[in-house]
Structure 1
Amino acid sequence: MFPFISSKPERCILFALYFICFSVIFSIYNPTLATASPVEKVPDEADYNWENYKKNFNRNYVEPNEEAERHNIFIENVKIIKEHNKKYSEGTETYIQGVNQFTDRKPEELKHLTGLRTKKH
């Protein structure tokens, strides 16, 4: 029924060799396997612009003090993102970070998003 299933061990070995040879040849001649490129996009300078950020993520701050504070947080988070992405470019990190809707937030403000509960003292 199945030509590769046989009571003869030499026939099974022969099939295994054919399979290995085919796999090697396919991986050599298949350009998508031969050139692995990251899917992620490294953010450009426009992504790090405060006015672009507010526009892209629909941020409107009523109080000038709040906008100044959020802008400072954004700047600090962008520094962290750039440092991380530099390490990615050097090959010491495996993923890219980017600006998102949380870039103007402090880590303490985002703790509730992790689903982890902390013990109250």
Structure 2
Amino acid sequence: MTDTSWTGSLHTLSGGRFELGIGTGRPGAETVAAGLKRPFGTGSQRLAELAATVDQLTVARDRPPLLISGAGPKVLDLAARKADIISPALPPLSDAAVASPLWTSCAARRETASATSSWV
């Protein structure tokens, strides 16, 4: 599990202006991890680590707003349930035909989870 104690300190030191954005990875992250000789893990492993980190963060008393970014249904389900801010991951230069189904899916998950999340 990731140590998240630093997030409360950064939140306080920034006067509440810090927002923590996390997800399960991004295109090219596996190559970066290999270059740093760090394990990247499978999608399931990264999702489990993200969920554990989010659980640890959401029980903290003094924490920054939590932004979760992703495109897969499991990450978006987690974001709908736990995030303060949801940022659906879109490919560069995406048009409405690509973005609309993802936004619709996010909105449905958010309503189902009764989250009070905002959107980026």
Q: Does TM-score exceed 0.5, indicating one fold? A: no
- The structure in which a higher percent of residues are helix is 1
Task: Return the TM-score normalized by structure 1.
Answer: 0.27
Higher-Rg structure is: 1
Task: Return the TM-score normalized by structure 2.
Answer: 0.28
- The structure in which a higher percent of residues are strand is 2
Q: Which has the higher contact order (CA 8 A, sep 6+)?
A: 2
